[in-house]
Structure 1
């Protein structure tokens, strides 16, 4: 049975708290796992969340600030210690290649796993194309070069039993039609409808910019920073961040189905205020104010709009 869910490992911003670890998020996508922004302490949070090194196929780093990348050293070494049997590919801003190399070889260890590197070299880059998804990157607006990531599943088709019956197709002929695309003058289009592929986006440290909107467009799940509350909007802009209301407005305008707010400044003690401000901004879909170690299912597929 396929599993599509976001496992939240950490939700703090620059300073961790007693209840919030530095960033870390694992997206389970059927048989693959994509680890986003492993901050300091990610390896221990993985243990607490029941996530193994074997679950990781890709590592995506948005930018090289410590709360988004200092956990890389431990995660990479754990992947090698556990002799993960499949290749692991790392994506990160090309301008941060020297930071990646320093973290990868922060201490001595034995390399046992093929660690591929496919850095992001420009806005709109397609980083990977597999039968299950396409992984894209868009440039964000932050004091250091930063990219958000977007995963898009190809559209499929859903067979409709009533249309099969209408055309007199049943039993083994259904499978033949699916394999061949046509049977006795009946095409697959005649008995099915488009099943829209799912879309997921991961947006961390950024001001409002074109990249944020492009990443969020039509997403089933948008995981996005909301470091500040709306009353500190100028502070957010000065430091290259979003507020809860800004993140929710992006989600509302983009037609996001499930909004996950995260990356909270330690200055705020009431997480419910982030939800209140997101709702006040008009977002009416599913909403999660992320907490460490929660698991959030990706909404089930819908038909094409």
Structure 2
């Protein structure tokens, strides 16, 4: 059975707190495991969350500020320590390749895991596979930063009652799916006659950035949007100055982009009441709002 859920490993911004670790988010997407922005302490948070290193297939860094990448050494070494056999692809801004090399080889260890570095040079599709497409868009932050989007292509769901009505059975079903049409007796049956469109799912990950077109492009029709909301609207001037978003801005993006579930995270240590983020977001977004907490899990909503 496939599983699609977000495992939240950390939700703090620059300074971690007693209840909030530095960033870290694992997206479980069927057989894939996308680890986004592993900050300091991610390896230990994975243990608390019951997430094995072997579940990671890709590491995606938005940028090279410490709270988004200082967990890389521990994660990379754990991949080798646990004998992970499959290759792990690493995506990160190409301008920070020197930093990734330093993080990857931060200390002495016996490296056996295969890490495939795939620096991000600009907007576009980074990888394709059974999961769909992994895309990147450049954000607006004081250092080069990219957001990520996972897009599953739409498919079709076969309807048993229609298959039976048209006399399509057994191996013929698979042939019809592959070819799009099938001769049954004296007539031709098309896949459209016995199925309905199965809408592909979308996931978006947006960290440190000011509002910009790329934020909306990434969030477009996302079933699950994970987005920073470092500040509350009362401190919008600080958000603009330091290249961040407020909870209200994040919620407005979600509303205008037709997002289904909004996950707020990356909270400044200046705030001690997370309900304020929820209340601010609910004022402008009518969908589901989740104020992320360390070690929580958020399932992707059912298909549209």
Task: Give how far 1:49 is off.
Answer: 0.4
The yes-or-no answer on 1:295 pairing with 2:294 is no
The yes-or-no answer on 1:212 pairing with 2:215 is yes
- Aligned position for 1:157: 156
- Aligned position for 1:239: 242
TM-score (norm 1): 0.95
Detail structure 1 runs of 4+ shifted over 3 Å in the superposition.
161-176
Q: Is the 8 A contact 2:208 2:243 kept in 1?
A: yes
Q: Is the 8 A contact 2:39 2:72 kept in 1?
A: yes
Task: Give how far 1:182 is off.
Answer: 1.5
**Of 111-120 and 154-163, the range deviating more from structure 2:** 154-163
CA spacing shift, 1:87–1:173, aligned 2, 3 Å: closer
Aligned-partner Cα distance in 1 for 2:174–2:67 = 50
Task: Give how far 1:192 is off.
Answer: 1.5
1:92 match: secondary structure: strand
Aligned-partner Cα distance in 1 for 2:214–2:41 = 29
Task: Give how far 1:174 is off.
Answer: 3.5
Q: Is the 8 A contact 2:11 2:293 kept in 1?
A: yes
Q: Which runs of 5+ in 1 are unaligned?
A: none
Aligned-partner Cα distance in 2 for 1:117–1:215 = 23
Task: Give how far 1:77 is off.
Answer: 0.8
- Residues matched between the structures, number: 300
Task: Give how far 1:193 is off.
Answer: 1.9
Deviation by residue 1:259-293 (Cα, 9 ceiling, x = unmatched): 10000001111111111000112x11111100000
Task: Give how far 1:170 is off.
Answer: 4.8
Which structure shows the higher strand fraction?
A: 2
Q: Which runs of 5+ in 2 are unaligned?
A: none
Aligned 1:249-264 pairs, distance under 5 A = 249-264=252-267
2:44 match: secondary structure: helix
TM-score (norm 2): 0.96
